[in-house]
Amino acid sequence: MRNKYSKAHQPSLDEMLADPIIWMVMRSDHVDEHELRSLLARVAADLAAEGVNMSDVETMTEPRSDYRCGVGIMLLNKLNQVFVGRRADSQSEAWQMPQGGIDEDEDPRDAVLRELKEEIGTDKVQIIAESKGWLRYDLPPAFRKRWDNRWRGQQQKWFVMRFEGVDADINIAGEQPEFSAWKWIQIEQLPDLIVSFKRQLYLDLLHELRESGKLPSRPEQP
């Protein structure tokens, strides 16, 4: 399946540099504007030499057998802040959005509501968006041992949800707590909080949602 950018208007590099997502990527990778311009110029030249149109981008939509299937949850409150929890099994400041595995023969939409209830104690939400395909990340070799090296990493369907409850509805002290603490943060803070091997997935997710217009760019007024 192919995802084509609009041919009516191809953004200029200056327009791209005005995008906050581009700046998040640059900050995460410690790349300045000069380096980015040089890199994009080289990539464009290489693609042109191979006859590749940069406006034609292919998206992987089918799951792979060497990645564990799961779901991810971007939960937004009325201020368009996103929920993150600090992992209970980590001694470091390991914050992330809720996620979990899909059971055999379970539909991703059923799985995401089940995981949400298990991890934060409530499912008072409305699903407002879904990723087009499966977003993947590779686990460091040491982490693969917990699954007997069956999977290279995880592939996840991501859902954006609007939280329709109140903070008092959130209870992370379940039977097997995933989080030891939680908070609402600005969406732009996500790449700085997540562990390094998941950062690119978060950046890809944010970019997809921004491009499709499914992610609010500014907080709503209370």
Compute and round to an integer the Cα radius of gyration of the chain: 19
Q: What is the pLDDT along the chain (222 residues), one digit of tens a residue?
A: 333 333 344 455 555 555 665 666 666 666 666 666 666 655 555 555 544 444 333 345 678 888 999 999 999 999 999 999 999 887 778 899 999 999 999 999 999 999 999 999 999 999 999 999 999 999 888 888 877 788 889 999 999 999 999 999 999 998 889 999 999 999 999 999 998 889 999 999 999 999 888 887 655 554
What are the residues whose beta carbons fall under 8 Å from the beta carbon of 55, sequence distance 6 or more?
Answer: 4, 5, 7, 10
Provide the pLDDT for residue 139: 87
pLDDT at 70: 96
- The single-letter DSSP state of residue 10 is P
Looking at the structure, give the CATH architecture of the domain made up of residues 67-212: Alpha-Beta Complex (3.90)
Cβ atoms of residues 206 and 190 within 8 Å: yes
Q: What is the b/e burial string over 181-216, where b = at least 16 CB atoms within 10 angstroms of the residue's CB?
A: ebeeeebeebbebbbeebbbbbbbbbbbbbeeeebb
In contact, 203 and 192? CB cutoff 8 Å: no
Predicted pLDDT of residue 29: 62
Asked if residue 88 lies in contact with residue 118, where contact means CB atoms within 8 angstroms, the answer is no
Write down the number of H helices and E strands in the chain.
7, 10
Q: Rounded to whole angstroms, what are the CA distances from 172 to 117, 152, 163, 186?
A: 9, 28, 15, 20
Written as one string, the DSSP assignment of 40-89 is: HHHHHHHHHHTT--TTEEE---S--TTEEEEEEEEEE-TT--EEEEEETT
Domain ranges of the chain: 11-57, 67-212
Tell me if the pTM is above 0.95: no
What integer pLDDT is reported at residue 38 of this predicted model?
62
